[in-house]
Homo-oligomer: A and B are copies of this chain.
Amino acid sequence: MAQSPYTDDQLILAARLYFIDDLPQAQIGKLVNVSQSKISRMLALARERGLVRVTVPDYDPRNGALEKDLKDSLGVSAVVIRSAAGLKIQDLRQTLGYFAASVVSSWIAPRSVVAIAGGRTMQALVEQMKPAGSTEGVRVVQAMGNIDSTSGAYDAAELGRQMASAWKGTFLTLNTPAILPDADVCRQLLGLEQIRNILTCLADANVALVGIGTLENSVFLERKVLGKRDIAALREAGAVGEILGRFYNAAGRECKTPLRERVVSLPLEELRRIPQVTAVVSGSDRSSALSAAIRGGLVKSLVIDERGAASLLGKPL
């Protein structure tokens, strides 16, 4: 270990002048005959060394009351993140990701298998996640094929990779489109060993992190993988929401449309068997899709913002 370039005494002097007496760094520099840059570095060092301690009362980013309400009335265990009023959706996502990250990270036990989906909220979350304890033998598995060939920053493949790297674990990618033009191709793909393996792996996941799509607001429509008439057909068939590219009805059962046979992702029946399936959702426009998923047992826990939670409970907040 290198010996320190400064004595604690010097650091304390600088720190006192700065934090207690509120002198600007340049002035402190004059008093101790060094440059402002150095004072800046000394202050940083003083904090690192713990000479300067800043104490701030705890802030609880979670809304415990809403969490309890959700548990009581819907039976889901939820992480409800407080959110400022009037936030634009992207900032809301950021907030959610920022504050939920530590909780969600703590769920990732050593040797666990994590099934992961894509989505912007998911992206905001994963971006902030980092291992809390041991990272031993974590496997991250992409839970759904790729939406199209342009690999976006918030696709499952990318997020999975990111998370796996943070945990120094392995990442298993589902190397196929999510939705195929016809059922035949899909069946063929599903026959491939590479893909079968991944799906098996997924079925054994300990934790699944998924988003919730709606008919009004679907990545598939947005990215033109499905057309308006596909959506219309789905609506016809009673679809109210989507998880991993699979649409389900108000009871939380997968809709029996031809589309069902064209999707490469963890089937909802298998998802249901995963012990912890968490929907990561922000905003209040997904209430009905979300409540159907909960009702159908597709989703067992929730990471959501205050307003989303409130609207899910039918309370206008």
Contact = CB atoms under 8 A, between A and B. Distances in A.
Contacts of A9: 59
A16 B91 contact: no
B56 A16 contact: yes
A229 interface: no
A20 to B, nearest CB: 6
Interface in A46-99: 46, 51-59, 61, 84-88, 91, 94-95, 98
Interface of A: 8-9, 12-13, 15-16, 19-20, 30-34, 46, 51-59, 61, 84-88, 91, 94-95, 98
Contact of A19 (B16, B56, B61, B85): B56
Given A31-B84, A33-B86, A84-B31, A12 B94 contact: no
Chain copies in complex: 2
Contacts of A13: 59, 61
Given A16-B58, A53-B56, 14 more contacts: A8-B57, A13-B59, A19-B56, A20-B56, A30-B91, A30-B94, A31-B91, A31-B94, A31-B98, A33-B85, A33-B91, A34-B84, A52-B55, A53-B55
Given A31-B95, A31-B98, A91-B33, A54 B57 contact: no
A85 B55 CA distance: 34
Contacts of A95: 31
Contacts of A32: 84
